[in-house]
Amino acid sequence: MVILGIDPGTATTGYGVIKILSKKGKKIRALKCLKFGCIKTEPKDNFPKRLLILSREIKKLVKIHRPKLAAIESLFFFKNQKTVIRVSEATGVIILILEKMRVPIIEYSPLQVKKFLTKNGRADKKDVQKKVEKILKIKDAALKDDAADALALALYAANHL
């Protein structure tokens, strides 16, 4: 089973694609990281164009990897109201694309994912990144925190099916 994890953002959206290779009951025996990265948009572009770029890139990922499930980070408290509105709009575009492409969606909070991976709901991004690297055996300096968060979402989903 292929799972797509997405950490929505306006400037940077992290993504991670994993595949469950074997499972016994609810216990996962083997996983593989298929791809990870970030979809970046230019601040100089108007916001509708940035959303269009995001939608095109999400479509490409779905067409290439054919995920059976998408795990998306749900919104949490933001101090900046403008930021939460923009991230909500980006999340809406992502959800729309996934729904149109018939990919089931589950949303998880950062707290759930952090607590599952690190046993600490207040873990910082570096702790999450280290745990993701260890579980998926990633030795790639290109793993940025947005992509690590997306892979963490996919891992959480894989373990909670």
Cα separation of the two ends of the chain: 11
How far, in Å, CA of 157 to CA of 72, rounded? 9
Q: Catalytic residue at 42? A: no
12 closest CA partner among 131, 152, 145, 123: 145
Q: What is the DSSP string of 118-141?
A: HS-TT--HHHHHHHHHHHHT---T
- Contact present, 133 and 141 (Cβ < 8 Å): no
Strand partners, 35: 17
Question: From the candidates 57, 73, 145, 149, which is the catalytic residue?
Answer: 73
φ/ψ of 44, rounded to 5, equals -70, -20
Question: From the candidates 7, 57, 145, 149, which is the catalytic residue?
Answer: 7
Question: From the candidates 42, 45, 127, 146, which is the catalytic residue?
Answer: 146
Q: Would you please indicate which residues are annotated as catalytic (active-site) residues?
A: 7, 73, 146
